[in-house]
Structure 1
Amino acid sequence: MSSIETKKINAILIVEVMGRPPEHLVETLENIAKQIGTEKGIRLVEKKITSPVLMKDQKDFYTSFAEIEVEVDDILNLAILMFKDMPAHIEILSPQIISLANSGWNDILNELTRRLHGYEEIVRILQNEKMILENKVKEFLPRPNVTEINKEKIKPKKGKK
């Protein structure tokens, strides 16, 4: 990727998880942080994982988050990380100004487009599977007898002549 500035980018990611049991949340966040640190062009600087907290109005359902500081080689690595791990928040700490050549923007926009097309394909597949399941459910639902419905419509009204 061509960038005018070749400084590395430092950023903090907030990754949230929810579920149960609470110890599973900490383990999941540890695994996410570890996986982020193994990505090409990304170095894990620091991680802070909060203790799981019982969610308001939920029985036995917890939430937790990790604050993960990373150093990435370029903005494309940060964009890929954003789509791959879907953090709740990203804050770029440094540098203050990030300049990109056209080719750098092309790389980011093409990655964005590729990911969106992948998500669109998944949505279409799920919509088709949903329609198939709905049709199968309709096959098993009891259907009213057509002759009984017609008899109800034709019945003479009582009391009027």
Structure 2
Amino acid sequence: MGTKITIRAIIELVGKPKEHIERTIKEYVDKIQETKEYEVLKVDFSEIQKQDGTEFWATFAELELTSDMQNLTTFCFDYMPAVIEILSPEKMTINDSQISEFFNDLQARLHEVNLVAKQMKMQIDMMNRNTANLFRNYIAVLLGKGDLTSEQISKFTGVPKEMVEDYLDHMIDEGKVKMEGEKYIFVRKEVVNNGSEETS
């Protein structure tokens, strides 16, 4: 797609600490300027400002740059601008092969994003399962030392009481914990002479 398009783009960043956001926005723009596919015509940086009622800082860079449609599609995926405005040309003529190339490139990018999203979901699911197992083992260790209420377990672990009780309910269903009054008791399994297990 040889037609050159000039755009105005705004790239926003929010985060902390302040120095990191200031450095990162400049690194973003430097990387764009170093990319041969983009001809950067103008750059303006806003003053960094603290978000009301938070510890986060926000800033943005406004750029004017020229490239073709295919590379501008890549630009949008790589840098996720908050705003895109086409400055020129006012009209363009695009043939069928150019449209096909544009949509094929767009689809390839979407597949990449979808793959990354699925991989991230798998990693998060695995991390959540491992964290849940670790926390349940920690509860078992605590109850192995003595009977405790959910509030006491919450204080020991730093986990909210409601979440602790959700885990304890699952452990009761699994027969690993039982409840007497407000206290939770670890169910110990003992092997008797015939090889069977008894709980206590």
Q: TM-score range by the shorter chain?
A: 0.7 to 0.9
Q: Relative contact order, CA 8 A, sep 6+: which one is greater?
A: 1
Which of residues 32, 35, 38 in structure 2 aligns to 1:36? 32
Q: Give the aligned partner of residue 86 of structure 2.
A: 92
Checking the alignment, whether the CA contact within 8 Å between 1:26 and 1:51 is kept in structure 2 is: no
Shift of 1:147: 8.5
SS of the residue corresponding to residue 128 of structure 2 reads: helix
SS of the residue corresponding to residue 146 of structure 1 reads: coil
Sequence identity (%): 26
| In 2: Cα distance, 1:96 partner to 1:131 partner | 48
Equivalent runs, 1:4-153 vs 2, <5 Å: 6=3, 8-59=4-55, 61-72=56-67, 74-140=68-134, 141=136, 142=140, 143-144=171-172, 146=175
Shift of 1:42: 1.3
TM-score (normalised: structure 1): 0.79
| In 1: Cα distance, 2:105 partner to 2:177 partner | 60
1:125-148 deviations in whole A, cap 9, x for unaligned?
Answer: 122222222332333314337397
Q: Which runs of 4+ in 1 moved over 4 A?
A: none
Unaligned segments of structure 2, at least 5 residues: 141-170, 182-200
| In 2: Cα distance, 1:98 partner to 1:10 partner | 12
Counterpart of 2:24 in structure 1: which amino acid?
T
* CA 1:104–1:132: 2 relative to 1, 3 Å: same
Checking the alignment, whether the CA contact within 8 Å between 1:12 and 1:92 is kept in structure 2 is: yes
Counterpart of 1:30 in structure 2: which amino acid?
K
Unaligned segments of structure 1, at least 5 residues: 153-161
| In 2: Cα distance, 1:45 partner to 1:91 partner | 14
SS of the residue corresponding to residue 81 of structure 2 reads: coil
* CA 1:29–1:132: 2 relative to 1, 3 Å: closer
